[in-house]
Amino acid sequence: MVNWLAEMVEEVQERFPRSTAARRAVIEAVLGKEGHFSAEEMCQEMRGVGRATVYRTLAALQEQGLVCRVLLEDGELRYRRSPESHHHHVVCVVCGQVQDITGCGVDDFVQAIAARFGYSVAGHRLEIYGRCGRCKSL
Ligand SMILES: [Zn+2]
Ligand SMILES: [Zn+2]
Ligand SMILES: [Zn+2]
């Protein structure tokens, strides 16, 4: 395992006291992933680890802001290592590449819409779909 990953797994592990070896294995696999993946794919990769453990660990990592979810154009929800707490994504509809967009930029808009309908905001999601630089010219 590369160093930064080992250190990160160690650090993350400390946030989950009484962590089992199975959970540790899931944390390691998730944080080591470059691209996005579905919970189902992670279950298949983690042979010998119960599905409930995989799902619970993903949920816990998401709660900690270490993993985010990307909504693909076809409605599929994928998981991904998260660089920071609140952010948005640009998704290429051809090759599936995902880019994180740091900073929000739509907060005022969201607040205004919520106020208009008498809502208090619990959260929002914004994904931008398009063709990436490489796929644009195909
Ligand atoms: Zn993200
Ligand atoms: Zn692309
Ligand atoms: Zn936002």
pLDDT digits (tens, 9 = 90+) for 67-103: 999 999 999 999 999 876 789 999 999 999 999 998 8
pLDDT in the model for residue 110: 97
CA distances from 75 to 78, 119, 134 (A): 10, 25, 23
Q: Report residue 32: phi and psi, to 5°.
A: -85, -5
Taking only the tens place, the pLDDT of each residue in 44-60 is: 999 889 999 999 999 99
The rounded mean pLDDT for the chain is 90
Reduced to 3 states, what is the DSSP secondary structure of residue 56? Answer: helix
For residue 96, the ligand closest to its alpha carbon is 2
What is the pLDDT, as a whole number, of residue 79? 95
* 80: β partners: 68
| Residue 3 scores a pLDDT above 80 | no
Which ligand is the nearest neighbour of the Cα of 93? 2
Q: What is the pLDDT of residue 83?
A: 76
Hey, CA dihedral for 72, 77, 83, 88, is it positive or negative?
Answer: positive
Q: Which two tokens stand for residue 11?
A: 């650090």
The Cα–Cα gap between 36 and 105 comes to 24
* Secondary-structure breakdown of the chain: helix, strand, coil percentages, each rounded to the nearest 5: 40, 20, 40
Instruction: Please give the pLDDT value at position 74.
Output: 92
Distance 48 CA to ligand 3 centre (A): 37
Which carries the bigger pLDDT value, residue 11 or residue 46? Answer: 46
From the CA of 109, the nearest ligand is: 3
How many C-beta neighbours within 10 Å does residue 42 have?
20
Tell me the domains of the chain and their CATH numbers: 1-82 (1.10.10.10), 84-138 (3.30.1490.190)
* pLDDT band, residue 117 (cuts 50/70/90): very high
Identify residues whose C-beta is under 5 A from ligand 2, the ion: 92, 94-95, 97, 132, 135
Residue 1, pLDDT score: 60
